[in-house]
Structure 1
Amino acid sequence: MTTSPQPPAPDVFAPAGIGPLQLRNRVIKAATYEGLSHRSLVTRDLLDFHVAYARGGVGMTTVAYCAVAREGRTDRHQIYWTDEAMPGLRRLTDAVHAEGAAVSAQIGHGGPVASPKANGAPALSPSKHFHATSLSWAQEASVADIRRITEAHAEAARRAVEAGFDAVEVHLGHNYLASSFLSPRVNHRTDAYGGSLENRARFAREIMKAVRDAVGGRIAVIAKMNMDDGVPGGFWLDEAIPVARWLEQDGTVDALEMTAGSSLLNPMYLFKGDAPLGEFADVMPQPIKLGVKAVGKRFLHSYPYRDAYLLEDARQIRAAVDLPMILLGGITGKPVMDLAMREGFEFVAMARALLREPDLINRLQKNADTPSLCIHCNKCMPTNFTGTRCVLTDRGTTRHASWGKPEGYVA
Structure 2
Amino acid sequence: MFEKIFEPFKIGKLELKNRLVVPAMVTNYCNPDGTATERYIAYHEAKAKGGWGLIITENYGIDEHSRGFDRAGGLWSDDQIESHAKLTERIHMHGGKIAAQIYHAGRQTGSQITGVQPIAPSPIEDPTIGEIPHELTKAEIKELVEKFGDAALRAKKAGFDAVEIHGAHGYLINQFLSTFSNKRTDEYGGTIINRTRFAVEIIENVRKKVGDDFPILFRISTDEFVEGGLTIEDTKVIARILEQAGIDAIHCSTGVYKTMQYVIQPTAVPHGFSVHLAAEIKKVVSIPVIAVGRINDPFIAESVLLSEKADLISMGRASLADPDFPNKVKEGKLDDIIQCMGCVQGCIGRIVKGLDVRCVLNPLTGKENEFAVEPAKEKKKVFVAGGGIAGMQSAIIAARRGHEVHLYEKDNKLGGQWLLAAVPPSKAELNTFTIWQKNQLDKLGVHVHLNADLNENLVEKEKPDAVIIATGAKPFVPNIPGVNLPEVVIAQDVLAGKKDVGQSVVVVGGGLVGAETAAHLANHGKKVVIIEMLDEIVKDGEPAVKHFLLKDLHEHHVEIITSATVKEIKQGSIIIEKDHVMKEIGDVDNVVIAVGSKPENALNDKLQGKVEKIITVGDAIKVRKALEAVEEGYKAGLAV
State the TM-score, normalized to the length of structure 2: 0.54
1:381 paired to 2:363: no
Counterparts in 2 of 1:199 and 1:387: CA distance versus 1, 3 Å: same
- Mapped contact 2:123–2:134 kept (Cα < 8 A): yes
Counterparts in 2 of 1:354 and 1:398: CA distance versus 1, 3 Å: closer
Alignment of 1:262-273 (within 5 A): 262-263=256-257, 265-273=258-266
Return the alpha-carbon distance in structure 1 between the equivalents of residues 303 and 3 of structure 2.
Answer: 10
- Mapped contact 2:220–2:251 kept (Cα < 8 A): yes
1:185 paired to 2:186: no
Q: Secondary structure at the match of 1:131?
A: coil
My pick for the range that moved more, 378-387 or 227-236, is 378-387
**Runs (5+) with no aligned partner, structure 2:** 369-640
Return the alpha-carbon distance in structure 2 between the equivalents of residues 181 and 397 of structure 1.
Answer: 34
- Mapped contact 1:20–1:217 kept (Cα < 8 A): no
Show the counterpart of 2:317: 352
Show the counterpart of 1:285: none
Counterparts in 2 of 1:163 and 1:396: CA distance versus 1, 3 Å: closer
My pick for the range that moved more, 159-168 or 133-142, is 133-142
Deviation at 1:309, TM superposition (A): 1.3
Alignment of 1:365-376 (within 5 A): 365-367=330-332, 369-370=334-335, 373-376=339-342
Show the counterpart of 2:291: 327
**Runs (5+) with no aligned partner, structure 1:** 1-7, 275-303, 400-411
- Mapped contact 1:355–1:390 kept (Cα < 8 A): yes
Deviation at 1:325, TM superposition (A): 0.9
Q: Secondary structure at the match of 1:201?
A: helix
- Mapped contact 1:75–1:115 kept (Cα < 8 A): no
Q: Deviations over 1:177-206 (max 9, x none)?
A: 110111111111111111111111111111
Return the alpha-carbon distance in structure 2 between the equivalents of residues 306 and 337 of structure 1.
Answer: 14
Show the counterpart of 2:272: 308
1:24 paired to 2:17: yes
Please point out which of 42, 47, 53 is paired with 1:53.
47
Alignment of 1:72-111 (within 5 A): 72-81=66-75, 82-111=77-106
- Mapped contact 1:154–1:211 kept (Cα < 8 A): yes
- Mapped contact 2:189–2:195 kept (Cα < 8 A): yes
Counterparts in 2 of 1:262 and 1:200: CA distance versus 1, 3 Å: same
Show the counterpart of 1:254: 248
Deviation at 1:246, TM superposition (A): 1.1
Counterparts in 2 of 1:90 and 1:355: CA distance versus 1, 3 Å: same
Q: Which amino acid aligns with 1:305?
A: V
Counterparts in 2 of 1:10 and 1:243: CA distance versus 1, 3 Å: farther
My pick for the range that moved more, 351-360 or 111-120, is 111-120
Return the alpha-carbon distance in structure 2 between the equivalents of residues 10 and 139 of structure 1.
Answer: 50
- Mapped contact 1:157–1:215 kept (Cα < 8 A): yes
Show the counterpart of 2:598: none
Q: Secondary structure at the match of 1:112?
A: coil
Deviation at 1:108, TM superposition (A): 1.0
Q: Deviations over 1:98-119 (max 9, x none)?
A: 0110011000111111232221
Return the alpha-carbon distance in structure 2 between the equivalents of residues 10 and 359 of structure 1.
Answer: 18
- Mapped contact 1:205–1:247 kept (Cα < 8 A): yes
Return the alpha-carbon distance in structure 2 between the equivalents of residues 397 and 374 of structure 1.
Answer: 16
Alignment of 1:191-340 (within 5 A): 191-250=186-245, 252-263=246-257, 265-273=258-266, 304-340=268-304
Q: Deviations over 1:230-265 (max 9, x none)?
A: 111101111100111112222x111111111002x2
1:33 paired to 2:22: no
Q: Secondary structure at the match of 1:377?
A: coil
- Mapped contact 2:359–2:365 kept (Cα < 8 A): no
Deviation at 1:323, TM superposition (A): 0.9
1:394 paired to 2:363: yes
Return the alpha-carbon distance in structure 2 between the equivalents of residues 359 and 236 of structure 1.
Answer: 35
Show the counterpart of 1:409: none
Show the counterpart of 1:69: 63
Q: Secondary structure at the match of 2:59?
A: strand
Deviation at 1:76, TM superposition (A): 2.6
Q: Deviations over 1:321-367 (max 9, x none)?
A: 11111111122222112122123222111111111111111101111
Q: Which amino acid aligns with 2:135?
A: E
Deviation at 1:11, TM superposition (A): 2.0
Q: Which amino acid aligns with 2:332?
A: N
Q: Secondary structure at the match of 1:130?
A: coil
Q: Secondary structure at the match of 2:133?
A: strand
Return the alpha-carbon distance in structure 1 between the equivalents of residues 38 and 238 of structure 2.
Answer: 39
Q: Deviations over 1:349-401 (max 9, x none)?
A: 111111111111110111174465211111121233332121232389999xx
Q: Which amino acid aligns with 1:78?
A: A
Q: Deviations over 1:25-77 (max 9, x none)?
A: 11111110111011211101100110010011101211111011112110233
Q: Which amino acid aligns with 1:326?
A: I
Q: Which amino acid aligns with 2:339?
A: L
Show the counterpart of 1:277: none
Q: Percent identity?
A: 29
Q: Which amino acid aligns with 1:30?
A: P
Q: Deviations over 1:199-223 (max 9, x none)?
A: 1111111111111222123421100
- Mapped contact 2:4–2:306 kept (Cα < 8 A): no
**Structure having the higher Rg:** 2
Deviation at 1:10, TM superposition (A): 6.3
Aligned residues: 361
Show the counterpart of 1:341: 305
Deviation at 1:78, TM superposition (A): 2.3
Return the alpha-carbon distance in structure 1 between the equivalents of residues 54 and 277 of structure 2.
Answer: 24
Return the alpha-carbon distance in structure 1 between the equivalents of residues 119 and 143 of structure 2.
Answer: 12
My pick for the range that moved more, 341-350 or 385-394, is 385-394
Q: Which amino acid aligns with 1:59?
A: G
- Mapped contact 1:158–1:215 kept (Cα < 8 A): yes
Return the alpha-carbon distance in structure 1 between the equivalents of residues 206 and 364 of structure 2.
Answer: 41
- Mapped contact 1:73–1:115 kept (Cα < 8 A): no
1:159 paired to 2:162: no
Q: Deviations over 1:292-316 (max 9, x none)?
A: xxxxxxxxxxxx3222111111111
Q: Which amino acid aligns with 2:273?
A: Y
Return the alpha-carbon distance in structure 2 between the equivalents of residues 9 and 200 of structure 1.
Answer: 41
Q: Secondary structure at the match of 1:232?
A: coil
Q: Secondary structure at the match of 1:111?
A: coil
Please point out which of 99, 110, 113 is paired with 1:115.
110
Counterparts in 2 of 1:211 and 1:394: CA distance versus 1, 3 Å: same
Counterparts in 2 of 1:10 and 1:144: CA distance versus 1, 3 Å: farther
Show the counterpart of 2:467: none
My pick for the range that moved more, 77-86 or 18-27, is 77-86
Show the counterpart of 1:301: none
Q: Deviations over 1:99-157 (max 9, x none)?
A: 11001100011111123222122111111122354442111111111101111110011
Return the alpha-carbon distance in structure 2 between the equivalents of residues 343 and 133 of structure 1.
Answer: 37
Please point out which of 143, 164, 172 is paired with 1:169.
164
Return the alpha-carbon distance in structure 1 between the equivalents of residues 18 and 85 of structure 2.
Answer: 23
Structure showing greater relative contact order (alpha-carbon pairs closer than 8 Å, 6 or more residues apart):
1
